[in-house]
Amino acid sequence: MRMPDTANRSTLNDDGLLAQAFPPVAMFVIMIAAWQAVISAFAIPVYVLPSPGDIWLAIVNNPGPLFRHSGITLFEAVAGFVIGSMMGAVLGTLFAYSKFVARGLLPYVIAANTIPVVAVAPIIIIWFGHGLSSKVAVTAFLSFFPLALNMMKGLQSYDRTIMDVFHIAAATGPQRFFKMRLPNALPYVFVGLKLNVTFSVIGAIVAEFVQADKGLGFVIMTSYRTLNMPRLWAAMLMSALIGMAFFAIISMLERLIVPWHSSLHDNR
Amino acid sequence: MAERAAGEGPVTTAASSLVDISGLSLVYGARVGTPVQALDDIDLAIGEGSFVSLIGPSGCGKSTLLRVLGDLLAPTAGSVSIGGKRPVEARLDRQIGFVFQEPALLEWRCVLDNIALPLELRGVARAERDSKARELISLVGLEGFERAWPRQLSGGMRQRAAIARALSTDPRILLLDEPFGALDQITRDRLNMELARIHEITGITVVLVTHSIREAVLLSDRIVVMTPRPGRISKIFDVDLDRPRSLRSRADERFDAYVRLGSDELEKGYADA
């Protein structure tokens, strides 16, 4: 039997982090160098593939607008993520507690989930107008399903013997929910949230493709029309950075909120 | 050695009985398909402070009987009284501790908070429930693991925590449903001795469901042998071995005699089935 030694474990993690960080950083340097070399060697025109230097210049020469547009997309993604996830969590809870609601609504929810977001986005934009709220709504639409389904699964997957333990202890209904079913569902909730991180950035940008005068989707579309490929690539890079930062924040929250679950990965 | 055949009415020990079961029957699935008679006309008295084992082949209803005592199942007919109360009243009155085959710990709570859970659910203040949990942690030998996650414990340690949790409300009766069935023999022996020690120290009434006759003889004052289809009591006998029990109790020649007695009775159950 080994006891978890907190000090020991964090040192191990730090070592692990450094060792983990080196390969991707090294690979990044190699890829950038190869990219630049290929463009020089074959004289590839900039509209086909801009060089890393071109993209870098597109960012640093006029950073203000690019960051402003990124901020807009980030806001839409986060707001849609929060609203959609919360609505999904509520509906998932309803599904878990009411067989009638689950059987009645689940087929339609799953059917709605299969509709491509590009088909839904114009409708939502008609409903919610040309401002930010319609982009938030499209993002929320995408963030809704993963959380509803994972919340339902998490709340239903409790251990029957633990339910007996709560029965012996004369637990009330709210106690069963807050002290057993909800904590038990949290690892599932985080699976849903991590899916939603990706979906929310996609949702925001797709909605901006359909109609927008700001945001990264707007930058990508206008750059495409003017064949300003370095700017398009810069916008793409920003959207990737938003997604990665967002994902990192959710992973950090997961470590804080469900440490018993993430400790599983650390200890093995 | 006191022996009796089934059906002669409840046996009472010198001490007054804590549990009285009479005419208890339980039929599963009476409303859907073929009903299964899990328990048929059970009469049993369990003395206050005694250690009683229920033993029998699978399907004999021993776990069902235990779950009726713990108010996890309602009988079809008959009456059950625990300290003069119906099981549901005894349960609401914190008088029942139940240990299951799996430890069933909440993996998001440390050992201390798992043990304090029943008190927390009853609204006991944190300081009080923590001090009770610490007391129990030392009783079951888990000192130093207060803040460990359940998944960091061995199987035996998890079951120790489950026993401590069952004792947290100071119940009058501890019900154990094959608690050590999933453990290796050495761990099982050690936990059996822990259980014997806890019984000696606290004086709590214990009902243990097991399929090991040797385990039953080692620990019990009285053994109830059950037979399946329908679940009935076929024999009740007292085990007169010196207390406190230890693993050396197995060297006592009477130990083997009791084991043979129980095994013969179990054989009959299997032969009939």
- CATH at residue B238: 3.40.50.300
pLDDT over 90 (residue A21):
no
- Asked if residue B15 belongs to a domain, the reply is yes
* CATH classification number, A67-267, choose in 1.20.1250.20, 1.10.3720.10, 1.50.10.10, 3.40.50.2300: 1.10.3720.10
Q: How much is the mean pLDDT over chain B?
A: 90
Whether B108 sits inside 8 A of A180 (CB atoms) is no
| pLDDT of res. A113 | 87
The nearest CA of chain A is from the CA of B161 a distance in Å of: 13
pLDDT over 50 (residue A61):
yes
CB neighbours of residue A65 within 10 Å: 11
| pLDDT of res. B36 | 84
Domain count, chain B: 2
Single out the residue in B136, B170, B204 at which a domain terminates: B170
What confidence tens digit (pLDDT) does each residue in A70-80 have?
999 999 999 99
Q: Nearest Cβ partner of A168 from B96, B108, B151? A: B96
Mean pLDDT of A199-218: 94
| pLDDT of res. A2 | 42
Mean pLDDT of A129-145: 94
* Domain of residue B258, residue span: 3-95+171-272
pLDDT over 90 (residue B242):
no
Whether residue B48 sits in one domain with residue B162: no
Q: What is the dihedral of CA B160, B163, B168, B172, to 10 degrees?
A: -150
pLDDT over 70 (residue B95):
yes
| pLDDT of res. B271 | 65
What confidence tens digit (pLDDT) does each residue in B187-210 have?
999 999 999 999 999 999 999 999
| pLDDT of res. A64 | 93
**pLDDT level of residue A12 (50, 70, 90 thresholds):** very low
Cβ neighbours of B85 in A, within 8 Å: none
pLDDT over 50 (residue B1):
no
Q: Which residue of A has its CA nearest to B111?
A: A260
Mean pLDDT of A161-168: 96
Q: What percent of chain B has pLDDT over 70?
A: 92
pLDDT over 90 (residue B179):
yes
Cβ neighbours of B145 in A, within 8 Å: 3
Whether residue B201 sits in one domain with residue B142: no
Mean pLDDT of B164-184: 95
Mean pLDDT of A157-178: 95
CB neighbours of residue A117 within 10 Å: 17
Lowest-pLDDT range, A12-26, A89-103, B229-243? A12-26
Whether A184 sits inside 8 A of B100 (CB atoms) is no
Residues of A with CB under 8 A from a CB of B: 1-4, 159, 161-162, 164-172, 175, 179-180, 183-184, 186, 258, 260-261, 263-264, 267
Whether residue B13 sits in one domain with residue B75: yes
Whether residue B87 sits in one domain with residue B178: yes
For A151, the token pair is: 């919340």
Single out the residue in B152, B170, B188 at which a domain terminates: B170
What confidence tens digit (pLDDT) does each residue in A169-202 have?
999 999 999 999 999 999 999 999 999 999 999 9
Rounded alpha-carbon distances, angstroms, from residue B7 to B10, B23, B47, B233: 8, 10, 18, 8
| pLDDT of res. B5 | 45
Whether B145 sits inside 8 A of A3 (CB atoms) is yes
Sheet of B96-99, strand order: B3-5, B232-238, B222-227, B51-55, B205-210, B173-177, B96-99
Mean pLDDT of B16-29: 91
Q: Which residue of A has its CA nearest to B123?
A: A171
pLDDT over 50 (residue B57):
yes
| pLDDT of res. B162 | 97
Residue type, B80: V
ipTM given for this complex: 0.90
Single out the residue in B170, B186, B212 at which a domain terminates: B170
Mean pLDDT of B147-157: 94
The nearest CA of chain B is from the CA of A198 a distance in Å of: 27
Cβ neighbours of B71 in A, within 8 Å: 167-168
Q: Which residue has the higher pLDDT, A184 or A266?
A: A184
Q: Which residue of B has its CA nearest to A258?
A: B108
The nearest CA of chain B is from the CA of A172 a distance in Å of: 8
Mean pLDDT of B45-66: 94
pLDDT over 60 (residue B243):
yes
| pLDDT of res. A183 | 95
Residue type, A88: G
Residues B224-258 as b/e (b if ≥16 CB within 10 A, e otherwise) read bbbbbbbbbbbbbbbbebeeebeeebeeeeebeeb
- Asked if residue B192 belongs to a domain, the reply is yes
| pLDDT of res. A265 | 52
Whether A4 sits inside 8 A of B118 (CB atoms) is no
Q: B106 and B97 in contact (C-beta within 8 Å)? A: no
| pLDDT of res. A6 | 42
Question: Domain locations in chain A?
Answer: 1-44, 67-267
Q: Nearest Cβ partner of A168 from B98, B101, B152? A: B98
| pLDDT of res. B229 | 81
- Asked if residue B130 belongs to a domain, the reply is yes
The nearest CA of chain B is from the CA of A184 a distance in Å of: 8
Q: Which residue of B has its CA nearest to A163?
A: B104
Residues B67-81 as b/e (b if ≥16 CB within 10 A, e otherwise) read bbbbbbbebbebebb
